[in-house]
Each structure stands twice: as C-alpha cells, then as structure tokens.
Structure 1
Amino acid sequence: MPASPYVVNVTRETFQQDIVQKSMEVPVVIDFWAPWCNPCQQLAPILEGLADEMGGKFILAKVNTDEQPEIAQAFRIESLPTVFAMIQGQPVDQFAGALTAEQVREWVSRLLPSPTQQLAQEAMGLIESDPKEAESKFREALMLSPDEDSLKIMLARVVLSQGRLDECATIIEELEKRGFLEPEAERVKSELDVRRTAAESGGVDAARKAAEADPTNLTLQIHLAEAYAASQQHRKALELCLGIVQNDFGEARAEAKTTMVKIFDMLGPASELTGEFRRKLATALY
C-alpha cells in the first residue's frame, strides 16, 4: 500500500468509499495503471509527488487494471496510463499517456477550488456551528471576488442568523437592484420579512397576549403566526394562517396566504411541512 495518506490503492470493494464518497469532499484523481506499462511507471511518481506536495488538496486513487479489470471496464479504459478526475461523484476531466510534470501540475491545478471557492466552502461548513467565523470567511471571499452574488446571498443568510436584520436588509436591497432575486435570496428575504414583523410584535409571548386580548383582530393573529415562524414553530404558524384563509374572505385572507408563502420560502420546497400545507392551502383557496 502507498505510504502517503493522500494516495490509496483502490479495489472494487473500496471504490465507493475511496473514490465516490471521497470526491464529495475533495477532487479525486484516478490513475489507471499496470505493472508492465512503462509510461505508467514514469507518470506514477509525478502524480504521487504532487499529491504529497499539495497535502490533501486532492486524493490520488490508483487502480491496477490487471487486478481490478471491472473498474477499468466501467471507465472504458482503452490505453494506459489513463487518468480521470472525479468531483462530487462525477468524472469531470481525463487524459491518457504520460504527461510531463509541468503538464500534470497544470492539469491538477484546474481541478482545485480557487481561493474564493475554498473560503466559501469553509464558510458553508461553519454556518451552523460558528456563524461568526462563517461570516468572516464569506467577507474574506467577497474581498477576493466582490461581484460574486452567491457569496452576498450567503452573507445575508449568516448575518440574519445572528439577528442583524437591518444589515441583512441592506444586502438584500442591493441584490434587488439587479431586478431579480435567486431562490435562495428570496428565502432569505421571506425570513427577514417574517422576523421583522415578529420583532415589531415583541416576540411570541407579546404577540399571543395581543391576539388573546382582541380575538376578532385577524391582523394580530397573523402577527402571532409570524412570531411563531420566527421562533421556528412553523407548524403552529401555518395552522394559524390556514385557519384564517379557510374562514375569512377579506383582506386578512390574502395577508394570511402571503405569510404562508413566506414560510414556505423559509422552509424550502423539499420540506414536508411545505408540501403538506401547500396542498391544504390549495384546497382552501379552490
């Protein structure tokens, strides 16, 4: 077995783990070789040395085609050496033959994330556990790529998660000047709107007391629903709004529907609650 932690010998049994799963984390370079292949022997130390030098920025997966013909057949290998690159479980590039060290370095460098992408990836992994550090990395990435709107959207998301509503609003307003918002930006905006209204209502306890004091005031009921949504009590929020849609035919009905749509945006289309209450809303409306 290779001594390097960044070089692995792959078998049919370890293919899924060593190549497919690992490529979800970093690029995986697959070297198809055979012991009798002289060009393979020339290429191998170049690839292995580069894997060590880059210290885990990519993994080199070596496949001995004499011992693992099934893997070679799956990749339709016709000559040796042949080298594939896998990212996110998919082959993205390849070459055949023994390249020079400079050519190999250039080829591998195209697979690696840019400094901006690297910072963004690190930030994404910190959003839940350390939002302040995630924010710092998003801002650093934006310094490198100030026109990258996807970074601005994620910055708005992480700023919102820390309760800085006005700062989040400024970012979203700047994005809106383009004339459109991406789905993720729409989700951030919907959550921002809900959290702003909830903050104005004083939170769940204050909104509940206000609604109980004036039970015929449906606007206060909607404010309570928004307070529920802002505190992650999404089912309660949707049930309250749905009841208004089912029983009122005035302005409150439209406002309750709008609030439900904002909560759907917050939850995302894959959420079971979104699917459940979209169906209930459609039934109530039509």
Structure 2
Amino acid sequence: MQPRNMSMSGVVDLAAVKAAQEAKAKAEQARAERARAGDTGAVPPSGLVIDVDEAGFEHEVLQLSTEVPVVIDFQVPRAEPSAALSAVLERLAVEYNGRFVLARVDAEANQMLLQQFGVQGIPAVFAVVAGQALPLFQGAAPEEQIRQILDQLIQVGEERFGLTGIQVDASAAAERAPAEEEPAGPYDHLLQAAVEALDSGDFAGAVRAYRNVLSEDPANTEAKLGLAQAELLRRVSELDPAKVRSDAAERPKDVSAQLAAADLDLAGGHVEDAFGRIVDTVRQVFGEERDTARLRLLDLFEVVGPDDPRVVAARQALARVLF
C-alpha cells in the first residue's frame, strides 16, 4: 500500500490564534514551574517511546502533547509492514532526542481509539499537538519522507504552540536487569520447527508443524496465524502469476481462477483487492462454489488478523452478500 501523505498545511485549522496562545502559555507555565522546583523535566531515552491504551490515553498523550509533539503509531506488531515502520519510528524518536515522543498503540486491542482517529488501515501514523490531533501518513513510507514529515511537525509545534520538546537525560539510561527467561511452552519446539521450515521455503513442512500444534491445542493463536500464512505461501509458490491473472480476467465466475488471483493479491500486499475479489465471486456463484469461496475468504482473514479494519469491512461486505 502506498502511503497517503498528509500536508502540514492542514495544521492551520488546529493553530487558530486562541488555541496557539493557550498552548504556548501552558507550555511556558509548565517549564517555569519545573524550574522553580529545581526539576529539569528530563526523561531517560526510554521515555521517548511509550505504549499507550484507551485507558491511559488522556493522561499519557493529551497532557504530554502540551509539552512536546506526540506521534501516534497505530500498529499491529505481528504484521510485517507495521513492525518494520514501527522500528523506524522508534529509532528516529531516539535520534531526534526529545523533539517528539512516540506513542505506540496496539490497533487490535484499542478499537475505540481507531474509530476516534478515523483510522482506515494499518499501519497508520497520526500526531497530537497541544491536544489537537492530525493525520500524518498511512501505510509504509521511505525513511527520508518520514523525516520530512517529522521536521514539519516539530516546526509547527514550536512556531504555533511553543513546544520546544523535552530534555533527555542520557545518564538516566539505567542498566536494565537481564529479563528472566520464560519457561518453554509445551509447543515451542513445534512452533520453532514451523518457523524454520517457513524460512527455508518448506511451506508444506510448516503446514504440517502448525497442524501438529493445533491437533493438540486447537485454540493456539500463534499456530492458527502461522498455518494460514504457510498455506497461503504454499499455494502462491505453485502459481504462474501471468497465467493466474489472465485466467481471472477471462473467467470472472470461475471460482478457482478468482481464488488463485486473490491469493496473489494478498501475498503482494493488496489486501482490499483480495477481499473484494472474493466477495464479488461469492455474489456471482451459488451452492458448493459459493461455500468454497466463502471459506477461502475466512482463511485469508486469519492471515491478516481478525481485528484488522480491512477484515472488519470485508466481513460486513460478505454478510451483505450472503444475507
């Protein structure tokens, strides 16, 4: 998915004169109070990246945004594009040394926040400046482009709202005690074998390993997700992309052709296209063919994650077709 970039010109509405003056006054007052108390307000580097949820959002983000721009990373850590973007943002938060704070939000566990911000897909990045929210970009983006957006955000925060950032105390980076190793779970060796099989391209072997776990623990979330991914990769590895696309275009009501094309769509990151293709197929066929298409769509939902907004939308579209 290509990033949908948001121009900083949209901040003009947020930076109405009254709001800007109030924000500047609050920021100056907070700095003055800390100075009188002998508190520099310095935070350790670890404080530049925080995890927030719906319960703590007001205290941890809205209040903090009166001192420093807060970048909100709506993420699904298990999804590779989301995890990759989060890693870049975390590194930049440390590099920018207090000029913004990164707040990570688990999109699956905080659906209300997604609705409040109008998030349409994951990953999505927003910002809160002096209590005011604005979108930055959606989807993956090159690091150079992310830096440009952050620089604009920081400039707006300083010029419009008097947010000069927070001081970072590098000496406060206390050495962390080594984390205690969690005891190995009963299926860890099978799950590890499945991961190794995936890494080596042995998709059939990965499918067998995940099924072995599910045969004894049907509710194992990691195995369910892994099996759905392994089965998708196995199917795609056996396809001729050019032929699949040609067959799908020539035979719009051929369930096998459309499901193969949907697999390619999803493997290529075109999630909405994959879901839409199968929903359209379900609409055009009946009986066993309809059930085959419906079940494949449910399998693909597992690959993306049941709480992903695109899955939620596709479920609704499927229900409208079926009922």
TM-score by structure 2 length?
0.42
Higher RCO (CA-CA < 8 Å; seq separation 6+): 2
TM-score, normalising length from structure 1?
Answer: 0.47
The structure with the largest alpha-carbon Rg is 1
